[in-house]
Structure 1
Amino acid sequence: MDQELDIPKSMKDTQTLEDLPGVGAATVDKLAAAGFGDLMAVAVATPGEIMDATGMTEAVAKKAIHAAREMLDMGFSSGIDIYEKRKNVLRITSGSKELDKLLNGGFETTGITETYGAYGSGKSQIGHALAVRAQLPPEKGGLGGIVVYIDTESTFRPERIIEIANGLKLDPDEVLRNIKVARAYNSDHQMLLAEKIEDLIKKDGLNVKLVIVDSLTSHFRAEYVGRGTLAGRQQKLNKHMHVLSKLADMYNLCVYVTNQVMAKPDMFFGDPTEAIGGHIVGHNSQTRIYLRKGKKGTRVAKLVDSPYLPDGECGFMITLNGVEDI
């Protein structure tokens, strides 16, 4: 299976940097050396990104981007074209039929799925379960691919991966080898790691199908304190999520992020829990799930935002084997 979404044959026939009209060989070499290995990578980049990576002038960067977009015909598409593209979307099963049903089959590719909730609500547990299940073949609810795990709070536990792998009768050593873990020590490091994922795909040839960021907002929340720093924090967070979103769309992979919450003491009715990150995180996450503890050790997942699915909720359990139905 190709890592990238299917594109028309006419696009594939010309999808090389050498075919860029009006762009010289020296510019092509600079783009390739900086990791912009094909037309799509150039077309979806910003002039600033190309300037920073290659040292090009703004005029040359804009010219390269414009030429790539023209060749890929990145204009308007009909609704039927978008519908056909959506048929390439894949899903990772969670292990719980009820949770999968809530999500129309599981955690889908080409977008970001965010879970938020208090500590112990199951966010990281779902991440560990997905890290194993993503390696299953498609006929068993997986994507048959490599997993990238950006760990910001030292929550990744190989022991937990082994438990879930054993429950699925998988070789735990092989499962662990297929999970590429990086510990992020601050927000800048976290952003850099996300940007390096494309190198794993293009330069190292890894079939990355799931990216986990646990947690998305921890470093940003700790480093940017007070209202005076809010604008700077949100700008960086927005840029970080745009990188993740672009990866999901370009390479047909699933991005799963966990998010922290805060309490709103001035709220007298309803649940006072609110996700960190404000509108930036909300707008960049295609699917948002609120997790909370239920009765007798159960967990409750509430789908609070989706582009096409209705709101709803379901119960599930965290067991030795991962995520399961009650």
Structure 2
Amino acid sequence: MQQNKIDHEEEDDEFFETIDKLIAQGINAGDLKKLQDAGIYTCNGLMMNTKKALSNIKGLSDAKVDKICEAAERIVQIGFCTGSELLNRRKAVVRITTGSQALDTLLGGGVETMSITEVFGEFRTGKTQIAHTLCVSTQLPFSMGGGNGKVAYIDTEGTFRPDRLAPIAERFGLDYTAVLDNIVYARAYTHEHQYNLLSGLSGRMAEEPFRLVVIDSIMALFRVDFTGRGELADRQQKLAQMLSKLMKLAEEYNVAVLMTNHVIADPGGGTFVADPKKPAGGHVMAHASTVRLMLRKGKAEQRICKVFDAPNLPDDEAVFQITRGGIADVKD
């Protein structure tokens, strides 16, 4: 068994332009502490907030916010860039193996950092099993298809099982104890608690090399906390804020975000639709997810994954199976 030694890589420096660097630009250390208390630790994260939101931080006036933002703009590039420059930035994207070569090929190499991957399907289609497998594979070195990083797991349904990771760690040749130590776990009970956990996560990501955030599942608490059509607009607004927070974390710290999601009956699916179900969350969820994957059951432990929506992947399918060691290819 190999130990999981995980450190910040030099190639990630651009994602960790901490706000401490603003001191050299003449910003007061006390004001920086106020930003950190509000969950803002990097210059990129600072620029991802509106001035209105920054002004709501206790002790920061509009004048101070303007000065801080101007200083941050001198450190980070927030304007236009050429396509070539963007392509060069995209070289920092890490693709994390799912444990199945067929599924990795479908995804263009694995689950991408700096993006949100949504996996939806009925119960027992393998959503949580994919999440458990990625908790281990993310800790593999880059040379083995991993992300050489830690994992944050937000559990909204009480389905995370640390003992499930033992055979998965054994399969990948990793030390089980080290695997568990590289995972931070939180059980969320309300959608507000879920959001606050994300806000607190930013501080840890600024100090430790995280590569994956899992939310299993994203819609569970929203479906409980908001009921009826009268609360639908409020629910979607709160959901949009949470998804925006996830996207900012993904881009700010170069991490992959994996969300599992429920399916709901689609009365408008039509008579000729064999399986009239759709992912929960509506258009807000559809627009926020970078890659959407639909899972369905196959024979025995086989599962079928279909690319439901993605900006760079063709509509295709892959078959994988659930094994003791996690997600794997189907044996001939």
Please indicate, yes or no, whether the TM-score normalized by the shorter chain is above 0.5. yes
Distance between the aligned counterparts of 2:210 and 2:14, measured in 1?
19
Distance between the aligned counterparts of 2:68 and 2:19, measured in 1?
15
2:41/2:203 contact within 8 Å kept: no
Q: Does residue 74 of the first structure (1) align with residue 78 of the second (2)?
A: yes
In the superposition, relative to structure 1, how do residues 200 and 32 fare at CA in structure 2: closer, same or farther (>3 Å)? closer
- Which of 91, 107, 110 is 2:111 aligned to? 107
- Which of 208, 213, 232 is 2:234 aligned to? 232
Paired residue for 1:293?
297
* Number of positions where the alignment pairs a residue of Structure 1 with one of Structure 2: 321
Range with greater deviation from structure 2 (167-176 or 316-325): 167-176
Q: CA RMSD in A?
A: 2.3
Paired residue for 1:2?
9
- Percent of pairs with identical residues: 41
Gaps of 5+ in 2: 1-7
CA offsets 1:81-124 (integer angstroms, 9 cap, x no match): 11101111001101111100000000010111000000001100
Distance between the aligned counterparts of 1:3 and 1:254, measured in 2?
18
2:151/2:183 contact within 8 Å kept: yes
Gaps of 5+ in 1: none
Distance between the aligned counterparts of 1:275 and 1:98, measured in 2?
23
Q: Does residue 117 of the first structure (1) align with residue 124 of the second (2)?
A: no
CA offsets 1:284-306 (integer angstroms, 9 cap, x no match): 11110000101233100001111
| TM superposition shift of 1:62 | 4.2
| TM superposition shift of 1:245 | 0.8
Paired residue for 1:256?
258
2:111/2:256 contact within 8 Å kept: yes
Q: Does residue 16 of the first structure (1) align with residue 18 of the second (2)?
A: no
CA offsets 1:115-136 (integer angstroms, 9 cap, x no match): 0000001100000000011011
Range with greater deviation from structure 2 (183-192 or 303-312): 303-312
Amino acid paired to 2:193: H
| TM superposition shift of 1:26 | 4.7
In the superposition, relative to structure 1, how do residues 62 and 279 fare at CA in structure 2: closer, same or farther (>3 Å)? farther
| TM superposition shift of 1:225 | 1.0
Distance between the aligned counterparts of 1:14 and 1:153, measured in 2?
35
SS in 1 for 2:152: strand
| TM superposition shift of 1:139 | 0.7
Distance between the aligned counterparts of 1:299 and 1:178, measured in 2?
28
SS in 1 for 2:92: coil
| TM superposition shift of 1:283 | 1.0
Using the size of structure 1 for normalisation, the TM-score is: 0.91
SS in 2 for 1:114: strand
Amino acid paired to 2:212: L
- Which of 161, 167, 186 is 1:163 aligned to? 167
Amino acid paired to 1:161: L
In the superposition, relative to structure 1, how do residues 54 and 36 fare at CA in structure 2: closer, same or farther (>3 Å)? farther
CA offsets 1:136-176 (integer angstroms, 9 cap, x no match): 11111111111100000001011211121122232211111
Amino acid paired to 2:90: R
Paired residue for 2:178?
174
Distance between the aligned counterparts of 1:174 and 1:32, measured in 2?
29
Matches within 5 A, 1:67-216: 67-202=71-206, 205-216=207-218
